[in-house]
Every structure is written in C-alpha cells, then in structure tokens.
Amino acid sequence: KAGVTQTPRYLIKTRGQQVTLSCSPISGHRSVSWYQQTPGQGLQFLFEYFSETQRNKGNFPGRFSGRQFSNSRSEMNVSTLELGDSALYLCASSRTGRSGANVLTFGAGSRLTVL
Amino acid sequence: ELKVEQNPLFLSMQEGKNYTIYCNYSTTSDRLYWYRQDPGKSLESLFVLLSNGAVKQEGRLMASLDTKARLSTLHITAAVHDLSATYFCAPKTGGNKLVFGAGTILRVKS
C-alpha cells in the first residue's frame, strides 16, 4: 500500500520567491493536513482540507495557502518567501477525521531552504 | 486554545532501564496521538488513544490516557538503543488538527 507522497523532497529558494509543494494522500484518504516543523517553533498546524474544502486553518499569515483537488491530492503555496519560512513541511492524510481511531499518516516531508 | 506540555524534553537513559514521558494538555480533547521521529525522517504513528483509561502497548512502549487529568504517559520498559528517537504527543482539536508537544529527545546508552 503506497504511503503519503510529497514532492519535491528538497528545494532551495530565495527571499521573495514563491513555492508550491504537493501531497498525494494514501488511496481512499480524503483528509489532508499540512504542518510546518522548525527547530524553534516545533510542529505547527497549517491547514486541513477535506473533500476539497478547507476545514481548519492554523495561525499563519495569508502568504500560506493551500487547496485540494477532487482526487484528494493537495498543494500548498507560500508566496513572498521569507528566511523564516525555511522548514520541513509535512503532509498527513487520513480517511475521515470525525471519529474513531483515525490514524494520521505523515509523508516524508518537503524540506524548504530560503536563502 | 489547546496547549501541550511534554516532559522531560531530553532523556538520556541506560539500556535496560524504565522511564516515563509525560504529556499534559490544557483543554478537552477526544483523541491523543503519540508519534516517533528519527533524525531527518518523518513522523511514525505509535498510538492513538481515544477514551479515558485507554492503554495501548507495542513492544517496549506503553501509552495511557487520563482525560480527566488531561494527561497521557508513554512508558518505556527495558530500553534498548533502537528506541533512541524524538517522541511527540499530540492531542486533537477540531477536525484533524493536532497540537504537538515540543517533543522528548530520547537517547538510550549501551
């Protein structure tokens, strides 16, 4: 069974540029969540999408956005990159999210470096 | 807003010893996760705890949940080097939003 696939795995950008990260969830999973991991702030929730709708949003500026497609694949975009956006961006997928032992499975992450 | 406090943040222990990691959270949550992360790797799911008094065990790790005290514990029995990693607890809020603790870096020395 294929896991959660994130692309690209590594990327380097310069300040002011924008970046798009992609996440393909496990087949049959309809919920996709995004998290940012940095040494200083730890793991922080960015947003969650379910059936193409944003269901939850974390406390990040509007430069961070996302979307989900009809096949449940998700993308997140960061515009006008800042040095502080350098981080590991993790995507997690799950089947639904409302009840039960709903395991969130994480992808390998996309490591973004902003110079 | 849900806050999570994990302690200790760093744990160095000898092989064969037992220890417990504590996870306190500030508001009601109906589900709590424990994850493991190896250096440079992603998060690996260990346990999902759903109800008060829930206890789950896998190998040398055992997790429990006390929803009244808003406390979860991860107990390590007879530690081995392979358990060296960072461990995170994460109670769930709305939808699938998890609030992660700062993580406990575990180093098992032989």
Structure confidence by residue, pLDDT tens digits, A11-61: 999 999 999 999 999 999 999 999 999 999 999 999 999 999 999 999 999
Q: Which residues share a beta bridge with A85?
A: none
Q: With beta carbons less than 8 A apart as the criterion, state whether B51 and B35 touch.
A: no
**Cβ–Cβ contacts within 10 Å for residue A89, how many?**
23
- Please indicate whether, in this complex, the C-beta atoms of B45 and A108 are within 8 angstroms of each other: no
Helix (H, G, I), strand (E, B) or coil at B45: strand
pLDDT tens, A68-113?
Answer: 999 999 999 999 999 999 999 999 999 875 555 678 999 999 999 9
Alpha carbon A25 to its chain's center: 11
- Please indicate whether, in this complex, the C-beta atoms of B100 and A43 are within 8 angstroms of each other: yes
- Please indicate whether, in this complex, the C-beta atoms of A50 and B100 are within 8 angstroms of each other: no
List phi, psi (to 5°) of B90: -155, 100
Which 8-state DSSP code applies to residue B83?
G
Determine the residue of chain B that is closest to A50 in CA distance: B95
Closest Cα of chain B to A16: distance in Å? 27
Helix (H, G, I), strand (E, B) or coil at A33: strand
Best residue of B33, B35, B43, B46 to probe chain A, by most A CBs closer than 10 Å: B43
CA–CA separation, A48 vs A78, rounded Å?
15
Residue A98: predicted pLDDT: 56
Average predicted confidence (pLDDT) for chain B: 94
- Please indicate whether, in this complex, the C-beta atoms of A56 and B96 are within 8 angstroms of each other: yes
Is residue B104 over pLDDT 60? yes
Which 8-state DSSP code applies to residue B15?
T
Determine the residue of chain A that is closest to B41 in CA distance: A108
In Å, how far are A14, A15, A41, A52, B32 from A115, measured between CA atoms? 5, 6, 19, 33, 37
- Residues of chain A with C-beta less than 8 angstroms from the C-beta of B41: 108
Place of tokens 């896998």: B58
Instruction: Tell me, yes or no, if B31 comes closer than 8 A to chain A by beta carbon.
Output: yes
Enumerate residues 64 to 103 of chain B having a beta carbon within 8 A of any beta carbon in chain A. 88, 90, 94-103
- Please indicate whether, in this complex, the C-beta atoms of B98 and A55 are within 8 angstroms of each other: no
**B55-58 vs B19-25, strand pairing mode:** unpaired
